[in-house]
Amino acid sequence: MRFGKTILSAMVAGIAALALFMAPAIAQPTIKIAYTGQLSGPAAQVGDAEIKQMQYIIDLMNAKGGALGRKLELVPFDNKSQPADALIALKNATDQNISFIVNCGASNVSAALIDGVNKHNERNPGNRIIYLNCGGVATELTNDLCSFWHFRFDLNVTQKVEAMVKALPKTVTKVYLLNQDYLFGQSVQRDVKIFLAKNRPDVQVVGDELIPLLKVQDFSPYITKIKASGAQALLTGNWGPDMNLLIKAGLSMGIDISYYTFYAHLAGGASAIGPDGDGKVFAVMAFGENVPSDIGNTEAEAWTSGFRANNNFDFIGATVFRSTIEHLVAAINKAGSLDAFKVASAMEDHRMKDFLGFDNWMRADDHQLQSAYYVGAFQRGVKYDSEKTGLGWKTATIIKSDEVVQPTSCKMRRPRN
Amino acid sequence: MEVFVVSLLNGLVYGMLLFMLASGLTLIFSMMGVLNFAHASAYMIGAYFAYTLSLYVGFWVALIVAPILCGLLGAAIEMWGLRRVHKNGHIAELLFTFGLALIIEKVVQMTWGLIAVPYRIPSGLDFPLFDLWGTQFPAYRAFMLLISALMFLSIWLGLTRTRIGLVIQAALTHPDMAGALGHNVPRVFTMVFAAGTALAGLAGVIGGNYRVTEPGMAFSMGPIVFVVVVFGGLGSLTGCFIASILMGLIQTFAVVLDYSLADLLEVFGFVVTKATPGSEFLMVTLPRIAALLPFILLVLILVLRPRGLLGTRDT
C-alpha cells in the first residue's frame, strides 16, 4: 500500500514536470480561421474540395512559419449553401472568438454574411470578425453593399466580363449573347454590351438571348439560330446543365464558333464537354493548372502539381485561396495582433506578388482585390489535363491586375478603432 | 428555309426523345393509375448503367443489357414496393414513387459522384450524317430517331396485335373483369411496370450520351414528360406520340420565332410602347419563354379538355 502511494506520487510529480515542460507549446495556440461552405447536401463536394485546397495552402504557410510565430488552423462550419445557415456558422465562429471567416459564396450567402458581420461587429466591439470572400462574385458586394469588414479576393462579375471581352481575338467581329434569365445572367448580358462598346467597338452583337433558368432541355434550336446569325463567338454566363447542354448541342451540330464561358473549367465541365470541345471552348478563370508551366514558373508548377498528385480534381482555387491566406498572414504580421480592426486596416491597400509572380493589391476604396486573371482554351496536348479527359485548359490570355480596374460606387464607412 | 428545315429536324429528334420517355410512363399511368414520379429516375439509371457497362463491354451490349437491368429493377419495385402501397390508395403511391425518386438520386450521387460522367457517343456513330447549309446532322441523331421509331412500332404492334397486348388492354379498362376471366392481373401490372421502366432505361441509354449524364438529369427531364403524358391523353399511345412530337416542335420553333405579344398587337394596328400599361409583359419575346410553353399548354388542356388530346377517360 505504501509502495503504491509512492509510485502514485512519483507519477503525479512526473506529470506535473511534463506539463511544466510543455507549457511553452501550449502558450502558443493556433490562429483559427473559420471556413464556412457547403459541406452537406447535393453539392457537398464543392465545400469539400475548397477545404482540401485551403488546407494545402495553410500547410504551406505553416511550414513557412505561420503568422506571428503561430500556426494557422482551419475550422470548418457547414452552411448548406444557405444564407440562414451561414449566419449560424458565423455565430459559431464568433462564439469561439475566431477573428477571421472565409467563405466562397454563392453571392446570396456572401451578402448575408456581410450583413451579419456588420451587425455583429457593431454590437460586439470586443469580439469583431473579418469576412474574407473567396468566391461571392456579385459586383454589388463591393459596390453598394461594401463593408469595411469584407474583403474580396476573386474578381467580381463585371471585371470577369471585361476580361472575357479583352480576350476576344481580333478576328472575331460578330458575337452572340446567350444568358440565363435571372439576376446574374442579365447582368452579364448588360455588362458584355457595355465593355464591347468600350473596348471592341468593331464587334457587332448579332444575337442576344435570355433563356429560362435550368428549364431548357434541348439547345439545338438555339444553335440553329446562332448559326443563322453568322456569329463567330458565343458569349455566355450559363452554368450547370444550361452550359453543358448548350456547348454539347453546338459541338454535335458542328457549327464553327468559339464558346466563351465563365464556368466551363469548374468541376464536371471537362467531362461534360469532352474531346469535341478541342480548341473551341474558352473559360475566364482565376487559375488553370497549366498556367505555371505556360509562364515557365517551375516553383509554382511544383507546388500545384503536388496538389494534383494527391487529389482527383483541379486545383482551381490555387491563386484566389492562396492570395486570401497570404494577404491575411501579411496583414496579421503587419498589425502585430489578431485584432480585427488592426488586421483589416493593415490589409487595405496591401500589395504583393501572387505565387505566380503577378502583382495584386487590395484596393482600399472597396476591398476588391485587383489581381491577374486568365482565359483558358480547352484543348489537347496540354501538360496537365482536366478530369482525365486528355484535354485541359491552356493559358490563352493573361489579364494583368491593372487591365480590369473598374470604378466603384462604394462609400466605405470606416470605424474609428 | 434553312432555319425551318433544321428546326424541323431538331424538333423531331427532341420530340422522339420525349416520346421514348413518355411512352413507358403513359403505359404505367394509364394502366395502373400510378403517377410514377420515379420514371425519370429510371431514365437516369439507364444512362448510368449504360455508362458503366460501356466501359467494360462496349456501347452495343449496354444498349441491350442496361434496359433489361432497368426492367428487372422496375419489376422488383412493383412487386415488393408498389403492390403493398397500392392498397392504401393513390396518395400513398404518389408519395412512394416520389420518395423513390429522391432515394435513387442520392444513390446515384453516392455511386457515381456529383459531377457529370464522361459517357460518350460510340465512335462508330460519331460522325456527321449529312450537311444542311453548314449545319451538321450527327449520325447519332438519326440513330435516335430510328430507335424511337422502332420502339413506337413495336409497342403499338405489341399492344394491338398480340394476345398479351389484348390482356393488357383489357386489364387497362376492366381490371376486375380481366381478373375474373382468369388472367393474372397483378402479374400483368408487374410486367407493364417493368416494361415501362425498361423503356425509360432505353431512353436513358440513348439520351445519356446525347445529352449529359449527371445526377440532376432525372429532375430536369421529369416535369416535361408528365406534360406530354397528360397532354396526349391517358391510355393513348398515339396521343402520347403526337404530344411528344408537338412539344418538340413547339419548343424548337418558339426559339427561332423572335416575336412577342406586342408584335401580334401591331398587326392589328395597336402599337405597344414603353408607356403602354403592361408593356414589359407584352414585349417578352417568344424565345424567352419557349421552355415554359409546354407548361402553359398543360394548364390550357387541363382546363379545356381534361382527358387530353386522344384520351379515353378524364385525368
Q: Sign of the C-alpha dihedral, residues B135, B138, B142, B145? A: negative
**Low-confidence winner among A5-9, A266-270, B112-116, B154-158 (lowest mean pLDDT):** A5-9
Supply the mean pLDDT for chain A. 91
Q: Test B3 with A225 for CB contact under 8 angstroms.
A: yes
A119 in contact with B at a CB cutoff of 8 Å? no
Cα–Cα distances (Å) from B106 to A146, A218, B103, in that order, read: 39, 25, 5
pLDDT digits (tens, 9 = 90+) for A38-58: 988 767 778 889 999 999 999
Q: Give buried/exposed letters for A214-235 (b at 16+ CB in 10 A, else e).
A: bbbbbbbbbbbbbbbbebbbbb
- Which chain B residues are Cβ-neighbours of A221 within 8 angstroms? 7, 10-11, 251-256, 290
The partner residue sitting opposite A271, judged by closest CB among B117, B288, B291, is B117
Whether A230 contacts chain B with CB within 8 A: no
- Which pLDDT tens digit goes with each residue over B6-65? 889 889 999 999 999 999 898 888 777 788 899 999 999 999 999 999 999 999 999 999
Q: Choose from A218, A225, A263, A316 for mutation: most chain B CBs within 10 A.
A: A218
A65 φψ region: left (φ > 0), alpha (ψ -120 to 50), beta (else): left
Residue A226, min C-alpha distance to chain B (Å): 10
Nearest to A272 among B136, B137, B212 (CB): B212
Q: CB contact, 8 Å: A216 with chain B?
A: yes
pLDDT (average), residues B229-252? 89
Q: Compute the count of residue pairs across chains A and B with CB atoms less than 8 Å apart.
A: 121
pTM of the predicted structure, to 2 decimals: 0.87
Return the pLDDT at B315.
Answer: 44
Residues of chain B neighbouring A207 (CB-CB closer than 8 A): none
d(CA B255, CA B259): 10
Using a CB-CB cut-off of 8 Å, the residues of chain B touching A45 are 113-115
- Closest approach of A210 to chain B, Cα-based (Å): 6
**Side-chain-facing half-sphere of A141: CA atoms under 13 Å:** 33
Q: Which residue has the cell 392481373?
A: B185
Residues in A touching B252 (Cβ below 8 Å): 218, 220-221
Instruction: Check if the beta carbon of residue B310 is closer than 8 Å to that of residue B232.
Output: yes
Where exactly are the structural domains of chain B? 2-216
Chain B residues 288-307 with CB within 8 Å of chain A: 288-292
**Pairwise CA distance, residues B48 & B104, whole Å:** 12
Q: Is the ipTM, as predicted for this complex, more than 0.90?
A: no
- Cβ distance A221 to B220 less than 8 Å, yes or no, reads no
Question: Is it true that the peptide bond before B101 is cis, omega within 30 degrees of 0?
Answer: no
Q: Do A214 and B220 touch (CB under 8 A)?
A: yes
Kindly tell me if the per-residue pLDDT of A1 is higher than 60: no
Are the C-beta atoms of A403 and A167 separated by less than 8 Å?
no
pLDDT per residue as tens digits for the range A102-126: 999 889 999 999 999 999 999 999 9
Domain annotation for chain A: domains and CATH numbers: 28-155+298-371 (3.40.50.2300), 158-285+373-399 (3.40.50.2300)
List, as ranges, residues 152-191 from A with C-beta within 8 Å of B: 181
CB contact under 8 A, B109 and A389: no
Q: Rounded to an integer, what distance in angstroms lies between the CA atom of residue A100 and that of residue A325?
A: 10
